[in-house]
Chain A
Amino acid sequence: MSQTAETTLPPRSTQDKPIIRAQGLRKTFRMGDAVVAVLKNADISVRPGEFVAIEGRSGSGKSTLLHLLGALDTPDGGSLHFFDRDYTRLPPADEPVVKQIVMSRRWWYVLAITFAAFAMQMVAAIVAPRFSPLPLRWFLGIAFGVMLITAVIGLALHVLRFVRDDAIATPLRNSEFGFVFQFYHLLPELNVLENTMLAPMIQRSWFSFRANRRKLRERATSVLKELGLDHRLKHKPSQLSGGERQRVAIARALMNEPVVLFADEPTGNLDFETGQQIMAVLERLHRDKGQTIVMVTHDRSIARMADRVLVLKEGRLDRVSDLPNPKPAISTMDYR
């Protein structure tokens, strides 16, 4: 773990308070009838200026972990903190019964059963009015009552989730976190400059954006220039190579000077050489500017460029201690 000479950069001591602290994270996915527990009690903390790599096989849940850390998804259990801010956002209905009925798709079954019973009542009332087992009107009332209550609870929970998400997660995503994805995820209709400026565009009102447009444009241009894209400002993503697209994605993530940069298999979709160039960019950001980076990869050689490597295995994180030190020097590579 090396300390840079610049005094203006945030200190990188492991004694610092962690930026991100995740404890006992749990996440399960439903695939048809099967429930797959991807994360079981995963703990991680990231300190300022650290470059953390999370390694794991495909499908081990490392991307899921990164999405939880980056507030792009919600865990089923555990806790998440950004400094002292809690952004866990557990499902609003933790009551097993309500959750089973409302948040899962089971409530469709409830509706279907109610309707079937109602239809049987109707048929019975028409075919043999005397043998109708329950007064039809009562049944109608109960059926509609159940439907109404289910619908209202479902809607309320959705709205709650929606409001909470807007209040807690979006400021983090916009200003504190930056994200780089394996598949770049650029907006195809916007050009390089507009894609880069997406975060401030979203953050600011129309007037605020107009007023600061020149400043923001200069900032975006300088970020893009650092990444060697200043000659591509007006190009659409479809006109760029894979490496260039990934660099645009990095520029977009860096635009608002995020506290933490999350990278989800940033080289996964690139050939070896281009991947090395992207890694050089991340490495340089970390080394020269003290950027905190959390990266996910399945490639051990890439993971080794990080300060610290964690392995995700069977839903838990383990520290890997047998990393060769010092790291290979790749920062001199020309990525242009």
Chain B
Amino acid sequence: MYKLHLILKYLRSRRIAWVSLIAVMLCTTMVLVVISVMGGWLRMFRESFHGLNGDVIVHGRSLAGFPHYQEIIDQLRGLPEVEAAVPTLHTYGLVNINNSIRDAVDVLGYPASIGTVNRFTQSLYRQYQKPVDERRTPATQPSWDLLPNIRYQEIKPNLKGFTPGMIVGAGVIGIRKDSKGDIKRPDSDLEYGAWANLKVLGINPDESVDVEKNKGDRTYWIVDDSRTQVWQYDSKTIYVPFKVLQQDLRMDGTDGEPARASDVQIKIRDGLDLNKARDKIASVVDDVMMANNVDSRFPYIVETWEESQALWLGAIEHEKMLVTILFGIISIVAIFLIFCIFYMIVVEKTKDIGIIKSVGATGAGVAGIFLGYGLVIGIVGAGMGLLLGYLIVHNINQLHNWLAAILGVPIWNPEVYAFDTIPNTMNPNEVIVICAIAVISSVLGSLIPAIVAALLQPVEALRWE
């Protein structure tokens, strides 16, 4: 009885209680904000990496790709695990946009059905992200069709032959955040009426190169830009129709070999184990390759998206571990802070401990007062810290812009952090863990002072000056 009574009395009447309360609150807020921002950033990174990849990928390990991909896709579609399977092409090329941008780029050949296996469609600005107030419903799959309201012939009258559409990574054509934090975009569809010449080179299955025969040189029209939010993709990648690229690379079966693709991206039904699905898919692919006597000129590997991005994901995991260690150290500092404050409280209250003990309180009871005191301060401090942390994280982009305006320097650089906005969501699991740690730290911080108080003989405590 007296424990609760004394805890409440002490909380109400002691200014030092407020100091420790504020210390717990600030520590909780700090850890919440940093974990939310860093954790959110790492989570966005993962999601973005996954966004450009199917759940499982049959990956050709040479630029010549691998044959019989259509048969593989047909077989895979029969598997209950597989929701969709789509062939893609990957190569490197030289691009010349409007004679103003010349660059070496990654070239991806996507069929329109790519929308069924990854989130490429959602990265498109004109077809998906541009607001609905222009009465356009977001596309479900990407389109490379030329825009109807642009008079291409007038822009480049001497252009001959078939000119398909091209989707460019936003960074390739210089779309990025400016110093004010806004993204400059073309005002209307007309801005997309730029031409882009792309030169690619097909590789023979034996890895020989026949420049005259396998040279692809085609002019496209830019119809959209893609913003996956992963800077390394957006600044260096262009996307063209699968069939067009296959033809330009002579991988369409006209060189005597069967038609080839670089990868097959596969979407697995939700909730299934990716590794099991991968093993099943690998056996199907092996069977097809065996049946067609595909030789060692076409090496391939079947892997999950996480395995295919292992290098990047590994780096991110390491970063996360580093951040966790840093916060472990910060947490230890916080525990020490609480410990110091509680030790001061015990020293200050030594005489009270003697009085309470002389009236018959047990050592356990006295320890209970201080542990309870720590618990109350932990709970109230963590609650206040959660509130403050939520307010900061929720408004972090506004705060960042405000700070950047005052200091004149933007702190969050999208080219470094790969994303143009600071993550502002809190993960409920992390919140629960952090608040629990704050409460446990407060109790731990009060543990040694509580034991010291419990072990005092009443007379030792009463004699204290």
Interface residues of chain A, those whose CB is within 8 Å of chain B, are: 67, 70, 72-74, 158, 161-162, 165-166, 170-175, 179, 181, 185-190, 194, 198-199, 201-206, 208-210, 252
Contact = CB atoms under 8 A, between A and B. Distances in A.
A185 B355 contact: yes
A202 B357 CA distance: 9
A73 B458 contact: yes
Q: Is the interface of B mostly helix, strand, loop or mixed?
A: helix
Contacts of B462: 72, 181, 185
A187 B355 contact: yes
Nearest to B362: A166
Contact of B457 (A73, A166, A205): A73
Interface of B: 1-2, 4-6, 9-10, 13, 351-352, 354-365, 454-455, 457-460, 462
Contacts of A201: 1-2, 5
A205 B1 contact: yes
28 contacts: A67-B458, A70-B358, A72-B462, A73-B458, A73-B459, A166-B363, A166-B364, A170-B357, A170-B360, A171-B360, A173-B358, A173-B359, A173-B458, A185-B351, A186-B355, A188-B352, A189-B6, A189-B9, A189-B10, A189-B13, A194-B5, A198-B355, A199-B360, A201-B1, A202-B1, A202-B356, A202-B359, A252-B359
B1 A175 contact: no
B279 to A, nearest CB: 48
Given A187-B352, A187-B356, A201-B2, 17 more contacts: A72-B458, A73-B457, A73-B459, A74-B457, A165-B457, A171-B360, A173-B360, A174-B360, A185-B462, A189-B9, A189-B13, A194-B5, A198-B355, A201-B5, A202-B1, A202-B365, A203-B360
A161 B1 CA distance: 25
B28 to A, nearest CB: 27
Contacts of B359: 173-174, 179, 198-199, 202, 252
A199 B1 CA distance: 11
B348 to A, nearest CB: 11
Contacts of A166: 362-364
B72 to A, nearest CB: 60
A175 B361 CA distance: 11
B122 to A, nearest CB: 58
Contact of A198 (B2, B351, B460): B2
Nearest to A204: B1
Contact of B459 (A67, A161, A190): A67
Contacts, number: 84
Contacts of A173: 357-360, 458
A170 B361 contact: yes
Nearest to B4: A206
B10 A202 contact: no
Contacts of B5: 194, 201
B232 to A, nearest CB: 48
Contacts of A190: 9
* 5 closest Cβ pairs, A-B complex: A174-B360, A201-B2, A209-B1, A189-B9, A73-B459
A194 B5 CA distance: 10
A205 B2 CA distance: 9
Contacts of B1: 201-202, 204-206, 208-210
Contact of B361 (A70, A74, A189, A202): A202
A248 to B, nearest CB: 12
A62 to B, nearest CB: 13
**Which of A185, A188, A199, A206 has the largest number of chain B CB atoms within 10 A?**
A185
A201 B356 CA distance: 10
Contacts of A203: 360
Contacts of B455: 158, 161-162
A205 B360 CA distance: 14
Nearest to B457: A73
